[in-house]
Structure 1
Amino acid sequence: MVEWTKDSLLAGAVLAGVLVLTYVNGPAPDPIAITVIALTCATLVFRRRFPIWVLAGTVVGCGIYYPFVGSAGPLLVTFVIALYSVAAAGRILVATASATVSMAAIVLGEIYSPIRHVDNIALFMLVGWLVAVIALGAVRSSRRALVSEAEKRATGDERLRIARELHDVLAHNISLINVQASAALHRKNRETEALEAIKQASKQALKELRATLGVLRQVDEQAPTTPPGLGQLKELVERTRATGLQVTLDGEPRPLPPEVDLAAYRIIQEALTNVTRHASAQAVNVRIHYDDKHMRVQVDDDGRGGEFMTGNGIRGMTERARSLGGDVTVRGSTDGVRVDARLPIGAGE
């Protein structure tokens, strides 16, 4: 709607300017000339929606006006604007061909006309103007394409980020639920504990899902939209302990840039998820420590080490760290597996 209004105002301004200059530069135009001028200028209203048809309309209008109706007045400006619109729409070849054919028609008309309307200097200047207009339109088209590509890339990055968040939330909490459900089937007189752990894990999963999806949908004002961080690390450790795994925590959270805080939490969460699902471990140690420029996260378990496959979880941890300028290494040995992450503290500043 805004573009339609702008083009309508442009068409009106061009019509007014052409009529004024036509009256100033020559005899007053007759009704036929005014009609041709008005119709030709009116086509500019549609220059964004139908640029090629508008270009054709201005060619026809100028082709009727100058040879048959009147030679005074700058009606040619409508053709120049239409030419720019075609080039800005990305139809560079169409714009170039139209300009070439139009210039050829003008030159042939001057050659075979008994009266010279345009001298050589004016012809060269007109060629220069047409080339410049096409070049400006091409620049506009390229800039629009770059902006569109940047928007698509940003959308893709956001989708990847949300997908990574969903993977981490679901993988961790559903793993805990699975472990507790299995325990409930095999532990006598301890079903209540397992069911309580399942309740807490599912509640946390829903909470984090609502926080993640809150980026896309802000409907429920009561829904938590703050992403988790190391402030919730103790709760994460407690939920993991509920599976029977002995988890120790060394180090205290500090205020961090939000991106680093979330990445550190998700890396620890994914590491604990992998221990719960794959390592057959009895104990795991989570350690966080800091220096002037970086924070380090280490997660060591005493489970099954050796060779292991790099799945989505490890790739997700690595991508998170690299996006902030850090790195993650995962090493397996006969004593277990170590996840070692280094994150720059100033990455979010």
Structure 2
Amino acid sequence: MEERQGVREGGVPRWAGPPWLRHWDGEGRRGARWPWRSTVVITFLVLGGSHFAAQHQEGERAALDVFARVLLLVASGLLLWRKRYPVLVAFGTAAAATVYLGAGYVYGPVFLTVVVACFSAVVTGHRRAAWGAVGMLWAGHVLVAHWLYRWLPPSGDSAVSWAQEAVIAAWVAAIMAMAELARTRREQWARERAERAQAARRRADEERLRIARELHDVLAHSISVINVQAGVGLALLDSDPEQARTALTTIKAASKEALGEVRQVLDTLRTPGDAPRQPAPGLDRLPELVQQAASAGLTVEVQGEPPRLPPGTDLAAFRIVQEALTNVVRHSGSRHARVHVGHETGALRLCVDDDGPATGAEAGGSGNGLAGMRERAAALGGTIEAGPRDDGGFRVLAVLPLKDGVKEEDR
């Protein structure tokens, strides 16, 4: 299948060329391929262009001989290494072009090799090396064209005008400016890719945290109820079988509900576009929490009516009340709790009280309940206050803002 789709073994595209034209990336793996196609094209352009220029400059400059063609091949062939060794290639092409000009050969596309090498060096971040190579070539040209021309071929050659030097310098500056612009754009694209990747990782981390928090809230509450009822069932198994049967029935109902909620949380890991199987829980399910708490021997009194809430706030409020009641079942000697739901301008207030005292009993909890509630509230811009009351009980007070939720509903 991969061969038909144009991919060789190892994930290397078929158009990447034969294996001997791909180099190692410096970490023991086959890395970026050699730029052999562009190098071949540039070599033909340089050789063909120089031959064409020699026909038009015959008698003015030295004729192309074997040494000239070797210099042209060296300057062009060095470009094959421009991605691996950009600094050496920049100075190598500049040196070959300087020797070529010093030997009096025709002006032609030999400068193209220096342009490509220095452009590649600038784009890959070796700016000083590229400017240094260009400066070396220009200084060599000035030295040959204005001083050494008396002793170098061709004989009878005259000095180059400074106006022509200014034109050459302007072209060099324009080419290097284009290279700098390309480097800047490349760095900007790299930053944007890194920022997008970081944002994706941050979203994934937040999603994992949300799922872990959901699972903790679901399992901590349900397993606490199951733990209490299992203890009741074991204690009454012989003396009161009917009451033990009731405890086992409660365990079955709590475990079934826990499995359903865990399935709902894990549904978010499915492929995008799949609809959840059931809506997320909210404060409209407070009666279910009261019933579950009653099955664990806790009487819950609910005061106040919840307002219409956006889904995120509704879920957070439900989980906070659920965790607070779970903590009462697990850690309080009181068998009575009060849940007050208040609504004031721009905020939802949830207050869960019990009369204590604290028993210090654990039901297999991880100790992350209060931290999870605080994270939920903080994610919505709200606050959580949890601690003992002066009369010996315990209070959990949550304040969740509703401003964002109103905007969400209006949309």
Which bracket does the TM-score occupy, shorter chain normalised? 0.7 to 0.9
Give 2:190's match in structure 1, choosing from 141, 148, 153: 141
Q: What's 1:316 paired with?
A: 372
Give 1:270's match in structure 2, choosing from 301, 320, 323: 323
* Conservation of the 8 A alpha-carbon contact between 1:285 and 1:301: yes
Q: Larger helix proportion, structure 1 or 2?
A: 1
- Change over 3 Å in CA distance of 1:35–1:104 after alignment to 2: closer
Is 1:99–2:148 an aligned residue pair? no
- Change over 3 Å in CA distance of 1:35–1:211 after alignment to 2: farther
The secondary structure found in structure 1 opposite 2:381 is: coil
**1:14 CA displacement:** 12
TM-score, structure 1 normalization: 0.74
Structure 1 CA distance for aligned equivalents of residues 128 and 401 of structure 2: 55
* Conservation of the 8 A alpha-carbon contact between 1:165 and 1:212: yes
Is 1:86–2:124 an aligned residue pair? yes
* Conservation of the 8 A alpha-carbon contact between 2:385 and 2:397: yes
Q: What's 2:108 paired with?
A: 71
Equivalent position amino acid for 2:222 in 1: N
Equivalent position amino acid for 1:331 in 2: G
What's the CA shift string for 1:65-98, capped at 9, x where partnerless? 96669733856664466346524xxxxxxx2244
Aligned residues: CA RMSD: 4.4
Equivalent position amino acid for 2:373 in 1: M
Q: What's 1:288 paired with?
A: 341
The secondary structure found in structure 1 opposite 2:400 is: strand
Give 1:251's match in structure 2, choosing from 295, 304, 311: 304
Is 1:209–2:266 an aligned residue pair? no
Provide structure 2 residue ranges, at least 5 long, that are not aligned to the other structure.
Answer: 1-6, 8-12, 16-31, 55-63, 150-159, 361-365
**152-161 or 67-76, which deviates more:** 67-76
**1:145 CA displacement:** 2.7
Q: What's 2:250 paired with?
A: 197
Give 2:332's match in structure 1, choosing from 279, 284, 287: 279
**1:250 CA displacement:** 2.3
Structure 1 CA distance for aligned equivalents of residues 123 and 249 of structure 2: 66
* Conservation of the 8 A alpha-carbon contact between 1:184 and 1:194: yes
* Conservation of the 8 A alpha-carbon contact between 1:306 and 1:332: no
Query: Matches of residues 1-349 of structure 1 in structure 2 within 5 Å?
Result: 27=52, 52-53=83-84, 55=86, 59=90, 71-72=108-109, 78-79=116-117, 82-83=120-121, 86-87=124-125, 95-114=126-145, 119-187=168-236, 188-189=240-241, 190-218=243-271, 224=277, 226-304=279-357, 311-333=367-389, 334-348=391-405, 349=408
Equivalent position amino acid for 1:71 in 2: G
Q: Larger Rg: 1 or 2?
A: 2
Provide structure 1 residue ranges, at least 5 long, that are not aligned to the other structure.
Answer: 44-50, 88-94
Structure 2 CA distance for aligned equivalents of residues 17 and 231 of structure 1: 73
What percentage of residue pairs aligned between the two structures are identical?
32
Q: What's 1:92 paired with?
A: none
Higher relative contact order (CA 8 A, sep 6+): 1
TM-score, structure 2 normalization: 0.64
The secondary structure found in structure 1 opposite 2:268 is: coil
What's the CA shift string for 1:250-288, capped at 9, x where partnerless? 233443111101110110011011101101221011121
Equivalent position amino acid for 2:290 in 1: V
Equivalent position amino acid for 1:110 in 2: H
- Change over 3 Å in CA distance of 1:296–1:40 after alignment to 2: farther
**1:109 CA displacement:** 3.6
What's the CA shift string for 1:22-43, capped at 9, x where partnerless? 9999948999999999989999
Structure 2 CA distance for aligned equivalents of residues 336 and 120 of structure 1: 85
What's the CA shift string for 1:181-224, capped at 9, x where partnerless? 111111222121111111111112111111112122359x7973
Structure 1 residue runs of 4 or more that deviate by more than 4 Å after TM superposition: 11-20, 22-26, 28-43, 54-70, 73-81, 115-118
Q: What is the number of residues matched between the two proteins?
A: 329
- Change over 3 Å in CA distance of 1:282–1:101 after alignment to 2: same
**29-38 or 238-247, which deviates more:** 29-38
Equivalent position amino acid for 2:401 in 1: P
* Conservation of the 8 A alpha-carbon contact between 1:96 and 1:134: no
